[in-house]
Structure 1
Amino acid sequence: MNFEKIGFDYIIDTLDIVSRLGRRTLKSIEFSKDILKLEKEFENLQSVITLLENNPKIYTTLKRKLSALKDIESIVNRLSNGYILDDVELFEIKIFSMISQEIYEILSENYKFLAPQNLEKVIDILDPDKLRIASFHIYSSYSIELSEVRKVIKETKDETLYETEMQLEDDVRKVISRKLSNYNQVLKSSIKRLGYLDLILAKAHQAQKLNLVKPIFTNKTELKGVFNPKVLKILEDKDKTYQKVDITLHNGVTVITGANMSGKTLTLKTLGLVQNMAQMGFYIPAIEGEIQLVDEICLSIGDTQSLEEGLSSFAAEMLEIDRIVKKIKKGVRPLVLIDELARTTNPQEGRALLKSVITILNNYFIESVITTHYDQVGEDVVKLRVKGIKKTEIEENVNYKNIEDYIDYSLIEVDDDSVPEEALTIGKLLKIDEDIINNAYKYL
């Protein structure tokens, strides 16, 4: 799945992740069919949203602390493998642990599932004088012998004792490393928890900002007021309004018809986005949403031409459809989204190919949405049509810049096989040469 095609790249880019730990956690998210795992994630997400609603300042506080975290996983791995850490590595563990402990103290009482481990004992090992300052060195309090040698050096300036001092410091590093190795699992757990905290805080903040809602998993997909956040932002930047739509899918084929510019392709991409977000543990862009879990998302939007392989757009599209059908015959149950199947071949063969694919998808009860300009595609499909041009609201100053303002993007279920003939209406509104329009009407 190309995230950019469906607008998931925008979802990723607008996540306020501030640490390397959070970014690594984000990369580890997988498309999941485990309903219990997903429900648990949504439960956690709702808890964090509630936390942010009840205490708005806590978001900034936690993010500031998370942004100061360094990824110490490689250092902890060295510790686990028995290496003696140097002063820089010990310093990094100390700073990490102190920041982690601050976050622990904020969350441990009421939000323990979000909190890292209690690292007070780790800090004590690295800060024997309990100064709790952001620095580290081999303190004299680690060793009576080291303390005595340093006193002598200070009093006598005896340089012959420097080597003894260095050896005693090495001995202390060995002791510290051995003690810390007892906490390597605790440290690893805190690293993982802090990465998750950064991510889920970002997801909760994003859900609030983009007005996302928790999906409900059922045996069908029914969305009310669904929208694509990436496109919504683009339109808002142009002072335009985004029309949200309602759609219900079934285990079988839904066909959407409508003129060009009527939002059919955007509907497909948004359906792919919603499914992907739901099964990756994100709230979804809708007013309400029921989602049927699928094995994967198969999206064909007619832009698969491969110059490297010398394939035409039609050949590439057929190979993509072939891959989808072969997966289905092997038992995979995807959400299939196909835009204008066989639109680049002649209408007779194109319609025949479309009906053939519809038959296969229906025979396997695959949740599918196909957009098309073809009519007479079969009876065993749910037929939706984009309402289209608001002819009663057309004004004289319609042009290519504002014509979208006069299109109703809502979907209505229809019983007949007709395809709306709005292309010529759009042509007229765009002030296309009259001969083109008049001749077309005559041939039509």
Structure 2
Amino acid sequence: MTQTSIWKQILDPSHRADPYPLYAELRKTPVVREEDGSYVVSTYREIVALLHDPRLSSDLRNLPDYDADAQEQASGEGPAALPPTFIETDPPEHDRARRLLTWNFGPPHAPSRIDSMTPDLFEIVTSGIDGFVGKDGVGGKDRSGPTRVDIVEDFAYPFPVTVICRLLGVPRDDEPRFQALSDAVVKASDPSTGVVTERQRRRAKARADLGQYFTELLDARHGRLGDDLLSGLLRGDGPEAPMPYEQVLSNAALLLVAGHETTVNLITNGMLTLLRHPQVLDRLSRDDEPDLAPRVVEELLRYEPPVQFLSNNRNTLDDIEIAGTTIPKGSPVTLVLASGSRDPDFVPDPDRFDPDREYNEHLGFGGGIHYCFGAPLARPETQIALTELAHRLKNPRLVADPPPYRASPSLRGPRHLLIEIDGVNPPQHPPP
């Protein structure tokens, strides 16, 4: 009987609640070849080296078994397949697309876009927590009874969805439709489901459907553009030529999915971790450490990151020798970011949650040219969300630990996070 590899055990949903002991086993061999010919890299220094190595491609089209026909076949009689997103390309194609996106997103060209959203972030968070009042007794007839809240459904999901909709100019009422499409994209990217060509086909179909959604959305505007990110891309704001229409659709679909999927997990993982470390939660609930929230979020990105690993499209353009192993040209490569961030050869006492670490460099947002595009927004979203939850929830406690987890091994987070509270304090921090 063939022994199941450590990597396959990590992909198994039964280990979703705590994959970190398996990561520790995986790190004993920094570079592992799997039966399918792919390579899994799990140690910090080796991951960082590959993230900055131009011989590691992010373009699926460089894979030997890439099926170009799958893109068209996936759509069938439906929407046409979309071109790769900017994170699925290499320089110079990647660099130009990222510049165009950045021009409309943040510094140095649009420095006020994220900062100007701060009042909106506070308003959305405040409204979300206010919504807890009246549930199961709080503010209702039985004021003495505890309130049961699902942090995922009642807070961590609606918040970043509302934010990304405002950023892109997407109607919030369309959430049921684009969430179903987003779920299809995430499921199609799960490396534990199906062979590579089949996942490629399903991913192309899911993205084509999202592209069709954006096409209909833009058609309904009748050419009227606003000040949102999507309008900026269509106008061609910036010194370079406008981004081709199909690339606008493709990258808008990416930002819509990534803009809420990862932040939902970061907020939920954060609240779960704080409830498991009540002394930190208590510190965050006070106002005497103004720099604590940023440090908590950075430690969360190291300790319980929403993106556990990068796979699917990383592949070698040449032979690469790393940690005494030669990864042959044309090999798929998975970079296990969550394992690298807990590498004891780089981080002292890595399995301890400690926001007071003097030195905290992590892989929570990846690295290299594909460093997380949405990091400037995810950080303040999570800082505000966790701070306000800490301030306003009275005696929060977990209903079940561990909670049930989502199926995806790469975008890891609880499917539900049920807590009980004794009430909700009034807001302490009015929107700026």
Task: Using structure 2 for the length normalisation, give the TM-score.
Answer: 0.24
Query: Bigger radius of gyration, 1 or 2?
Result: 1
Task: Using structure 1 for the length normalisation, give the TM-score.
Answer: 0.24
**RCO higher in structure (CA 8 A, sep ≥6):** 2
More strand by share: 1
